Every structure is written in structure tokens, then in C-alpha cells.
């Protein structure tokens, strides 16, 4: 009788069963009952609990990184950063793609069920809730959340590594104000996401602190896609006083705007300045090159793996780390036409 069969019977990971039976892990009562029942029904002989004075093993087995997609270059860059960081730590990494939509995200549960040897999960999502992640935490799987904060059942806390979306948006918007812009639109992401909310809050506070009226500015919400960015121009034209600058909450949407601007008779940055967010590599190859808030992907990966390996070893404490975004100034933002002419 193997530990794997016990884990399959109980519906949890091998890591959860192993650490629970060794006295290294506290799980929810319902999970403990399932494991105990599986051990009894299958006749598995559990090892003796680990003595309290014995240091838990620090080796890390298979770790799963789950991303919404790899179409957005930001997620591809994040995956690349995790691959490098995991290799440097000799940690085997399993990459899974959950999908952006709720019905497609159900595949996460199938991914975790198929990989019972997974020791820990690093989750990057595009929704505020996820029952499968809740369930994995209930079953004792070490979990670290990256980028988009997740609301867990019963208000539980989980290790979270994110970036200062508020501060970055404030910095980007203030930069456009310093260039002389007074009508600055914001092309934002889906309204329910914490990243969207924090970037919008930073944008609005920068507008107010500059003595501008937020009511005079335009905010558009949509998905983080090129198509959404390209589709914003008719709304920008309808805004009464057309903006001279736009802070875009995602580089991939900004790429769509740069590609579609000429179709609407606009030159960037002569007629419209654009600042993005994420720091995807393609931004430096566009014409003009994209001014952006750069995500610290290497630091995100390192911090997440450090937190997860500490959890797996039984040495973790609750981690909530916020990393800064860096404004990278390139050619897609300049002074508005009247300021440039003066």
C-alpha cells in the first residue's frame, strides 16, 4: 500500500498526506477525517509522527505554477522568471494554464488532481475568488498568490506577493501631468480585479493632487488584450474634450492602441501620449518605444519561491510582500502639442 493510493482515496495531495501523518501539518477537520478514513480503509501503516525537536526536511519537491494564459507576454515573462529562479534553487517546476474564464479555470482542479506529487502551488489568477485554490489550502497544500489578490473563504490569509499598483499608477499619471497634460484618460482592466482597482485609485489620486477634476477625465474598463486597446479610440473621440494622454493599465492593451492609432488619424506621441504597465519586452521594439511601468518579475519569482519553500519545510510565517514598479521612460509620451509648440 503506497502513500499515493491513500492520497488518491482521500482526494488530497501526497504531500498533504505525508506531512499530516508525520505530524508536520494541521489540516481542516473534514480533511483530517478523509485522510484517517483512507488510511483505515486501505490498511496503510502510517509512520510515527515526527518528534517535536526534529528539524523538518528542507528539500522541495515538485512545485506548480498556474497562470491565466501565455498569450499575454507579461505572463510568459513571469513564467520565464519562475523557470530561471526554480532552476537556480534546483526546484522542479510544473507549469499549468488555467484559462481566464470561470468555466475554463475549473481545469485547475483537474491539474492539481492529476499531479498528486505537487508539494506547493504558486497561483496567478484573473478572478477574485477560486474554489479550487480554497480547497487546496483546506487540504494543507502550501500556496502562494502572485499579482492578483485572492479573496479566500472565511477571511483566511495566504502568502501573497504583489506589486505597488497604486504607487505605480500614481507615478505614471504624475509623469504625464509633469509633461503638461491636463486631460488624461485611463484605459483600465476588468473592474472586479484588485490590480485594476489599485491602479485606478492611484490614477485618480494623482489627478486630484494635480488640481485636476476627475469628472473631466475618461475611464474605460475592459480586458487586458490588444483588441480592447485598439477598440478604445471611438470612445476617446466621443469624450467631448479629447484626451492628450492615456495611462493604460496593461502593456498589451497599450500595444493595441499604438497599432490602431494611425487608423484613427493619430500620431503617438504627437497627438496622444501613451504610458503602459507591465514592462513586456515587445514594448522596447515598438515605434515609438513604449513608456511603461516595469514589473519586477525576477524579484516576484524569487520572493514567491522563498515563501513557498519555507512553507513546505514547515518554517513559514504569513508573508505579504509588495514590490515597487519602475517607470521606464521611452518615446510614447511627450509634452502635449500646445506645450511642445510653446
- Cα–Cα distance between 116 and 12 in angstroms, integer? 7
> In this predicted structure, what is the pLDDT of residue 161?
96
> In this predicted structure, what is the pLDDT of residue 340?
55
Expressed in angstroms, the distance from the first to the final Cα of the chain is 82
Helix (H, G, I), strand (E, B) or coil at 309: helix
> In this predicted structure, what is the pLDDT of residue 165?
97
> In this predicted structure, what is the pLDDT of residue 55?
36
- Cα–Cα distance between 160 and 158 in angstroms, integer? 6
What global pTM score does this model have?
Answer: 0.81
> In this predicted structure, what is the pLDDT of residue 49?
53
Partners of residue 320 on adjacent β-strands:
160
> In this predicted structure, what is the pLDDT of residue 57?
39
Helical spans, DSSP H, in 215-264: 226-230, 233-237, 251-260
Q: Report all structural domains of the chain as residue ranges with CATH numbers, in order of start.
A: 3-42 (no CATH), 62-162+298-323 (3.40.50.2300), 165-295+327-341 (3.40.50.2300)
CA angle 123, 147, 272 (to 5 degrees): 140
Query: Each residue's pLDDT tens digit in the chain (342 positions)?
Result: 567 788 778 877 777 787 788 776 777 788 888 888 988 888 887 655 544 443 333 445 789 999 998 889 999 999 999 999 999 999 999 998 877 655 555 555 555 555 556 788 999 988 887 887 887 777 778 899 998 888 877 777 889 999 999 999 999 999 999 999 999 999 999 999 999 999 999 999 999 999 999 998 999 999 999 999 999 999 988 766 789 999 999 999 999 999 999 999 999 999 999 999 999 999 999 999 999 999 999 999 999 999 998 888 767 678 899 999 999 999 999 999 876 554
What cell does 341 get?
509648440
- Kindly tell me the burial class for residue 288, based on how many C-beta atoms sit within 10 Å of its own C-beta (0-12, 13-18, 19 or more): middle
Amino acid at each position: 500500500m503506497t502513500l499515493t493510493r491513500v492520497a488518491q482515496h482521500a482526494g488530497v495531495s501526497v504531500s498533504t498526506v505525508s506531512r499530516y501523518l508525520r505530524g508536520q501539518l494541521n489540516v481542516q477537520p473534514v480533511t483530517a477525517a478523509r485522510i484517517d478514513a483512507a488510511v483505515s480503509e486501505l490498511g496503510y501503516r502510517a509512520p510515527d509522527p515526527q518528534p517535536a525537536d526534529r528539524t523538518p526536511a528542507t528539500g522541495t519537491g515538485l512545485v506548480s505554477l498556474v497562470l491565466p494564459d501565455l498569450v499575454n507576454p507579461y505572463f510568459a515573462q513571469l513564467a520565464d522568471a519562475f523557470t530561471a529562479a526554480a532552476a537556480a534553487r534546483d526546484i522542479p517546476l510544473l507549469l499549468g494554464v488555467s484559462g481566464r474564464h470561470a468555466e475554463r479555470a475549473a481545469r485547475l482542479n483537474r491539474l492539481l488532481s492529476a499531479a498528486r506529487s505537487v508539494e506547493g502551488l504558486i497561483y496567478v489568477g484573473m478572478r477574485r475568488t477560486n474554489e479550487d485554490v480554497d480547497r487546496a489550502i483546506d487540504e494543507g497544500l502550501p500556496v502562494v498568490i502572485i499579482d492578483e489578490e485572492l479573496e479566500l473563504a472565511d477571511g483566511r490569509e495566504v502568502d501573497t506577493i504583489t506589486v505597488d499598483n497604486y504607487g505605480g499608477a500614481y507615478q505614471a499619471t504624475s509623469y504625464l501631468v509633469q509633461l503638461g497634460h491636463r486631460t488624461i484618460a485611463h484605459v483600465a482592466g476588468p473592474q472586479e480585479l484588485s490590480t485594476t482597482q489599485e491602479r485606478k485609485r492611484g490614477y485618480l489620486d494623482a489627478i486630484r493632487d494635480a488640481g485636476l477634476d476627475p469628472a473631466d477625465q475618461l475611464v474605460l474598463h475592459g480586458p487586458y488584450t490588444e483588441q480592447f486597446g485598439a477598440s478604445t479610440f471611438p470612445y476617446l473621440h466621443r469624450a467631448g474634450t479629447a484626451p492628450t494622454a492615456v495611462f493604460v493599465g496593461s502593456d498589451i492593451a497599450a500595444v493595441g492602441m499604438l497599432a490602431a492609432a494611425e487608423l484613427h488619424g493619430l500620431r503617438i506621441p504627437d497627438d496622444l501620449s501613451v504610458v503602459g504597465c507591465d514592462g513586456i519586452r515587445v514594448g522596447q521594439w515598438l515605434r515609438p518605444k513604449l513608456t511603461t511601468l516595469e514589473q519586477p518579475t525576477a524579484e516576484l519569482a524569487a520572493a514567491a519561491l522563498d515563501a513557498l519553500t519555507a512553507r513546505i519545510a514547515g518554517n513559514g510565517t504569513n508573508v505579504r510582500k509588495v514590490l515597487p514598479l519602475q517607470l521606464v521612460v521611452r518615446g510614447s509620451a511627450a509634452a502635449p502639442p500646445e506645450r511642445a509648440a510653446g
